Structure 1
Amino acid sequence: MITTTVNIENAATILKLLGDKTRLMIVKLLENHTCCVCEFVEIFQMSQPSISQHLRKLKDAGIVKEQRRGQWIFYSLNTENDYFHFVEQILQELPSQKDKLIELEKKGTRISCC
């Protein structure tokens, strides 16, 4: 495994992005799952435009990537990003957020847009 050293400027940019609780939780949720905007709207009880802004910032930084499936866009971690291993190390220190996805499944709203 080749690991890229993160310079201070790039580390500061990534840490600033992940310093927002919502974005940090989005990235943690995407650690092992692909999610649609509608799922994040349900989890965070935020508007779709607000969630989309968070995802746009993460996508612009290369932390997440999107995949279109019909009219829906699904997000996942960008494991090919030069700084993925830096982000991955941060995520390893955080508690699992899987319970949020399990709750969506129980309510029948997991990937409700498909």
Structure 2
Amino acid sequence: MENEYEYNSKVFKAFSDPNRLLILKMLKYGERCACEILEDLAISQSTLSHHMKILCDSEIVNYRRRGKWMLYSLNEKNCQAARDFLTEITSMKDLCDINEPRQIC
């Protein structure tokens, strides 16, 4: 079983590519078919498959098959968890002593 930091590193790896960020922005507006995503990106079908595998493996994106089509959508629960984690690690309120930034509580 992976720990919280291993899981979050997968998520932030998924966020670390410009094409994957564009895909996430497209999915923000609702479920999209792979063919629709491909139309809006200047990449090959195999490259799209690679990006979708990373996004799905990170559990930020859900997928389902409808006939011969693959449909993708954001996983709202895991997107919120990523926002919460980023807030947690960048929040100053959790510091024990502002004068000793290396101290971990």
**Normalising TM by the smaller chain, what interval?**
0.5 to 0.7
Tell me which of the two structures has the higher relative contact order, counting C-alpha pairs closer than 8 angstroms and 6 or more residues apart. 1
Q: What runs of 5+ residues in structure 2 fail to find an aligned partner?
A: 85-105
Label 1:65 to 1:31 Cα distance change in 2 as closer, same or farther (>3 A).
Answer: same
Q: What secondary structure sits across from 1:62 in the alignment?
A: coil
Q: What runs of 5+ residues in structure 1 fail to find an aligned partner?
A: 1-6, 90-114
Rounded Cα–Cα distance in structure 2 between residues aligned with 1:69 and 1:25: 23
Q: Which has the larger radius of gyration?
A: 2
Deviation above 2 Å: which 4+ runs of structure 1?
A: 7-13, 86-89
Identity of aligned residues (%): 35
Rounded Cα–Cα distance in structure 1 between residues aligned with 2:37 and 2:83: 20
Normalised by the size of structure 1, how large is the TM-score?
0.61
| Count, aligned residues | 83
Asked if 1:73 is matched to 2:70, the reply is yes
The match for 1:25 is: 22
Alpha-carbon shift at residue 13 of structure 1 (Å): 2.5
Q: Which amino acid aligns with 2:57?
A: D
Label 1:87 to 1:22 Cα distance change in 2 as closer, same or farther (>3 A).
Answer: farther
Label 1:70 to 1:88 Cα distance change in 2 as closer, same or farther (>3 A).
Answer: farther
Rounded Cα–Cα distance in structure 2 between residues aligned with 1:9 and 1:67: 25
Q: Which amino acid aligns with 1:21?
A: P
- Whether the 8 Å CA contact 2:7–2:58 is kept in 1: the answer is no
Alpha-carbon shift at residue 18 of structure 1 (Å): 0.3
Asked if 1:48 is matched to 2:10, the reply is no
